[in-house]
Amino acid sequence: QKEVEQNSGPLSVPEGAIASLNCTYSDRVSQSFFWYRQYSGKSPELIMSIYSNGDKEDGRFTAQLNKASQYVSLLIRDSQPSDSATYLCAVRSSGDKLTFGTGTRLAVRP
Amino acid sequence: GAVVSQHPSWVICKSGTSVKIECRSLDFQATTMFWYRQFPKQSLMLMATSNEGSKATYEQGVEKDKFLINHASLTLSTLTVTSAHPEDSSFYICSARGGAITDTQYFGPGTRLTVL
């Protein structure tokens, strides 16, 4: 069974700090990796996608992928209270479906 | 770009009635649409995958006769919850894949269903 694992948290960081969110996956043939943010009571919104090993930066967000170790991470620089949400890691192995992790709850303290 | 809408955003209905939820991709053609359900403090649960013009593929344990999915066009999919019961109360979210980055799923805002 394809699995995506995330620490449920909460991960608490002070405002301005770097938040580091991690995700591991079990299916070695996974090809596409996504980070979504979900505020309480809302639907997920896409933050970033990553397909190749290494880092991908978009503003304050950096996604990191290491296929050999089967992990993907998301760094949030200069964390803001508005970043407080649940962050979902999603992996596409083959076919249409995404496999989601259970999410990591991030709390940014003012 | 890549905007997905859902209607209604919330609905309250009586037990035994049917409820239809619409999902539209507003600025791209969605080759595939997905329907998820999320209970409080739980992760997303995929219910079914639908492609335009063909029958939906349901996940194990999801009753296809209870949750009717119609994907009539490249921009519209509907989910009908038939004979709704209180245990069907949940947050239903659709997503659509297509557009410039065909690998990515974009989510609608969700529909909160409460069955009395």
The pLDDT confidence band at residue B51, using thresholds 50, 70 and 90, is: confident
- Digit-coded pLDDT (tens) for B54-104: 889 999 999 999 999 998 888 999 999 999 999 999 999 999 997 666 788
CA-based nearest distance A54→chain B, Å: 19
- Gap between the Cα atoms of A49 and A27, Å rounded: 17
Q: Which of B43, B104, B108 has its CB closest to that of A34?
A: B104
Residues in chain A with CB shorter than 8 Å from the CB of B46 are 97-98
Q: Taking the CB of residue A94, how many other CB atoms lie within 10 A of it?
A: 10
Average pLDDT over residues A15-28: 96
Average pLDDT over residues A81-86: 97
CA A48 to chain centre: 8
- Gap between the Cα atoms of B77 and A54, Å rounded: 37
Predicted local distance difference test score (pLDDT) of residue B56:
92
DSSP 3-state of A81 = helix
Q: Which of A2, A36, A47, A96 to mutate to test the interface with B (most CBs of B within 10 A)?
A: A96
User: Over 80: is that where the pLDDT of A49 sits?
Assistant: yes
- Gap between the Cα atoms of A61 and A48, Å rounded: 8
Average pLDDT, chain B: 92
- Gap between the Cα atoms of A71 and A3, Å rounded: 12
Predicted local distance difference test score (pLDDT) of residue A22:
97
Read off the tokens for B45: 């649960």
CA-based nearest distance B82→chain A, Å: 23
Q: Give chain B's count of helices (H) and strands (E).
A: 0, 11
The amino acid at residue B81 is V
- Gap between the Cα atoms of B72 and B22, Å rounded: 11
Average pLDDT over residues A71-82: 97
Read off the tokens for B31: 């080759």
Residues in chain B with CB shorter than 8 Å from the CB of A45 are 107
Average pLDDT, chain A: 94
Burial degree of B14 (CB within 10 A; 0-12, 13-18, 19+): exposed
Predicted local distance difference test score (pLDDT) of residue B101:
66
The pLDDT confidence band at residue B46, using thresholds 50, 70 and 90, is: very high
How do B57-58 and B105-107 pair as beta strands?
unpaired
CA-based nearest distance B18→chain A, Å: 23
Task: Determine if the peptide bond prior to B86 is cis (ω within 30°).
Answer: no
User: What is the percent of chain B where pLDDT is above 90?
Assistant: 75
Residue in A19, A3, A5 with CA at minimum distance from that of residue A103: A5
CB contact under 8 A, A43 and B103: no
